[in-house]
Structure 1
Amino acid sequence: MAFGTLYGVKNNVRTTGVLAVAKEIGLDLNFVSVDLANPTAEHLKANKLGKIPTFVGEDGFALSECIAILVYFTAQSNNTSLSGKTKQDYASILKWLSFANSEIIPSLAGWYRPLRGAIPYDKKSVDDSAKATLKAVEIMEDQLTDHPFLVGETLSLADLFTAGVLSRGFQFLFDKKFRAENPHITRWFETVTSQPSYSAVTDKVELLNTPAPANVDPKRA
C-alpha cells in the first residue's frame, strides 16, 4: 500500500527534492501531476492555495510546505542518516533547507525566468536577482570547500532538496566560466544529482555549454 499521494509537477524545483527523499528512504507514493492553473477539487481540499508540493497520507493526514513534508517523510524511517547524526546536524540541515527555499528559489527565478520570457523583463530586477543568487552560491561554495556535503560527511535532506533548487541555475545560467570559478558547488551538484534516488525522479540536467545569457530583453535579443 502506498504511504500517500504527492501532488506536484515533475522537475519542479521543490517537488524534485521531496520525491528524491521519499525514494531514498523507500516510501511508496502515488504521484499526481497537477495543472497549477486549474487545481483539482482533491488538491484544493488538501491545500486551499493549490500549491505544490502537497501530501495526503493514506490515513487522510494532509500536509503542505516542502520543508514540513521533508521532515515528515524522514521521520518515517529509523534507519536513515538524511536528518543528520546529531541535534546540531539536524538544526544545520533545517538551516540549509530554509536558505534554499527562501533565499535561492526567489532570486534564481527572478534571474532566469525573465531571460527566458516566462515573466516580464526588467533589467534592474534581473541584475538584483543575479547578484542575490551569486551571493547565495558564494556562501554554499565556501561551505562545500572543506565539506563533501552541506552538513557532515554524508548525504542529507539539505543536499537532495537544494540540488533540485539549483537545477535551473545549472541548466540555464551556470556556464563553463561559472563552474570553473565555483568547482566545489559544481562537484557537489554532480555528486548529488547522480544519486540513484535523485536521478530516478527527475530528468537529468545537461550542464550549460554555451555562455550564460546576457541581461537583455529576450524579445529584443
Structure 2
Amino acid sequence: MNYVIIENALPADLLCAIAAAIQAGPFECGKNTAQGMARTAKSNLQLSSEVHGQLLDRIGMAIYSHPVVQAFAIPRHIGRPIINRYETGMEYGLHSDGAYIHDVRTDVAFTLFLDEPDSYQGGELVIATTAQTFTFKLPAGSMVLYSAGELHRVTPVTSGGRNAVVGWVQSRIRDAHQREIIAKLSLVPRVLSQDEKYTELATQSGQCIQDLIRMWGD
C-alpha cells in the first residue's frame, strides 16, 4: 500500500484552536455523514460543522498547502475535513469511503491524530489490503495519507477518548499507482538541486515530472 506519514502536520496555533473547539463542542452523531453500508458500521461523534465551519476550512487549507501533501496527493480539491471523536465503546467497522463526498472525488484519505497514543486504549486505524494489513496509532499532530479506495476500520476504543481530523483529497492524478510514481520521482530533483554540478539534471528531472502530470492528469 502506498502511504505517507507526516509528523507535526499542522502549526501549533491551529492545533490549539482545534483543542479549544473540541472542548467547547457541540458534537453530533457521526452516522449523519456516512454513506451506504458505512452507516451501520459507524459509531462515533463529530464536531458540528455549522458551529466550527471556519476552523474546519482553515484546517483543510493548511493540509492542502503542506508540501508533502502536494507531492504525495497532487491535490486538485480538498473537501471540508471532519473532526471526529470516539468515546469508550465506539468504533468504525470495516468499510470503504464513498467515491464522492461533498462533490469531491475521494482519491486520497487522511487521518490526523490529535491525542497521544497512551491517553486512550484501542482506536487504531487499520487498513486492510489484499496483501497486507497496516495499523496506525500515531503521536498527536501526526497524519497518515493513503489511497481512499482501501478497506479500513477504527478499532473499538476501550478506555479514554480518541479525537482525529479526517478528510479526503481529489487528486489531479486519478490513478494511485501513477501518483506513487510521481511522488517517488519528486525526490530526485530535490536531492540533485543540493549540488550545483547536478543543476541541469535537477531541472531535467523536474521537467519529466511535470510532463507525467500533464500526461496522466485529468
TM (norm. structure 1) is 0.25
TM (norm. structure 2) is 0.26
Structure with greater helix percent = 1
Structure with greater strand percent = 2
